Structure 1
C-alpha cells in the first residue's frame, strides 16, 4: 500500500455488522473462489480457551474441497461482504484496532472484490482489498465439522463478546441485507439449526 493508496478492508464476518471505526465509504461486494465457513475457533470473543466457540473464516474453494471431504454445499464459491474505505488520517489507528480484534489466528491478505455491472456481469470493483483470513495452518483453524456438532457448539458457546449464537444470527441478518443476490447456504442452514435448538430448549 503506497501513501496515495486508500486503505480498504473487506469484512465477511463480524465486520459486516460491527464495522471498523473511521469508515468514509462502504461498498457491498463479493469474493470469488472462496467459501465462508465456521471453521475458526474463538477463544477470546465468542468462546473461552477451555470451551472455544466457532466463527467464520475464508478458505479458498479448492483447499476447502480437500479439507471438507463431504461439504454439504459443494458448489458455493462466492462470499458476500462489505469493503470499507478508511479515512487516510486514521489508517494506523484502524490497522492497530483490526490487528488486535483479529488476533486469534487471522492473517492479513489482499483480495479482489467483485460487483455486478449494469449488464448483470461480474466485474472487479476493488483491486487488492485487505482481508483478515484464518489460514488452515493457523492454530485456531478447526476445519470441517458435521453441521449437527457445529450448530450445537455455536448454540452452547459464550465468550467475552457474548453468546456464539448471537454472532451467527447477526451475521446471517447482515448478509441478507447486503444485496438481493447475497446468499450463503452454510450460514443460513446453521442459523436455522441453532434457532431450532433455541425452540427445543424452551
Structure 2
C-alpha cells in the first residue's frame, strides 16, 4: 500500500482529470487497457437530483461490461485515457483518506499498469502498480448501458447542486482531448455530439462548461 520506495500513484479518468487530488508532485497522461469509461453511474446529489438523477462516468472491466451492455455503441473499446498522479509521500495517508471518501459510492481500488505511446508509436507500460478506483456494477447508483440518444438527453437536461450535467461532460471531453495527440474516447465524443446538437436545437449557447465550475465538481467520478 505504498512506501518510500514505491510512491503512491493514482490514475484519474473522470473528474480527477479536471479536479486533481491534493499534494500532487508529478502528473503524466496515459491510458488503461482492458477497461471502458462509461456514463453508467447515476448522480443524485451533484449533477442531478433524487427525482431526476444525472449521469457521471465510471470505469468497468471490459469483460464485465460486455455481459450487460448489448446497447453499447462501441463494443470494441478497451482503452481509457487519463492522468496518473504521483502524491507527495508526506501526505499519502491524507490523500488516501480523501480519495476513499470521494470514491465511496461503488468504487473499488485496484492496482493497474498505466500505458503510453513512445516516439515510434508503440504501446508501452510507463507506470507499474498505479492505483485506480474501478466501478462495480452492484452499487446502488450503477445504471449500466443505455442507448446513446437516451443517455445524451438525460445528460443534457439534468442539473444538480454542482451545476448542469452537460458541463461535466464538456469539461471531461475537453480534458481528454488535451491529454495527448493520441488520446481519444469514442463514447465521450459521440455523447458530446448529441448533447451539443440538443443545445443548438434549443438555441442554447455552445458552452464548454469551463467557467467557474471546476471548484464545484462532483465528488463522484
TM-score (norm 2): 0.87
CA drift at 1:116:
1.4
Whether contact under 8 Å (2:71, 2:146) holds in the other structure is no
Mapped partners of 1:49, 1:99: distance in 2: 23
| SS in structure 1 of the partner of residue 174 of structure 2 | helix
2:3 aligns to what? 3
CA drift at 1:79:
0.5
CA drift at 1:78:
0.5
1:89 aligns to what? 90
Whether contact under 8 Å (1:34, 1:59) holds in the other structure is yes
CA drift at 1:75:
1.6
Mapped partners of 2:105, 2:158: distance in 1: 17
Mapped partners of 1:178, 1:158: distance in 2: 27
Mapped partners of 1:131, 1:178: distance in 2: 18
**Matching of residues 68-147 of structure 1 within 5 Å:** 68-147=69-148
Whether contact under 8 Å (1:147, 1:190) holds in the other structure is yes
Mapped partners of 2:194, 2:182: distance in 1: 23
| CA shift digits 1:132-166 (9 cap, x unpaired) | 12211111111000111101111111122211100
1:182 aligns to what? 183
CA drift at 1:70:
3.4
TM-score (norm 1): 0.95
Whether contact under 8 Å (1:109, 1:130) holds in the other structure is yes
Mapped partners of 1:100, 1:2: distance in 2: 18
Whether contact under 8 Å (2:106, 2:138) holds in the other structure is no
1:163 aligns to what? 164
| CA shift digits 1:45-98 (9 cap, x unpaired) | 212223211111111112212211132112211000000001111112212222
Tell me how large the CA RMSD over aligned residues is. 1.3
| SS in structure 2 of the partner of residue 46 of structure 1 | coil
| SS in structure 1 of the partner of residue 71 of structure 2 | coil
1:27 aligns to what? 28
| SS in structure 2 of the partner of residue 174 of structure 1 | helix
Mapped partners of 1:100, 1:160: distance in 2: 19
CA drift at 1:3:
2.2
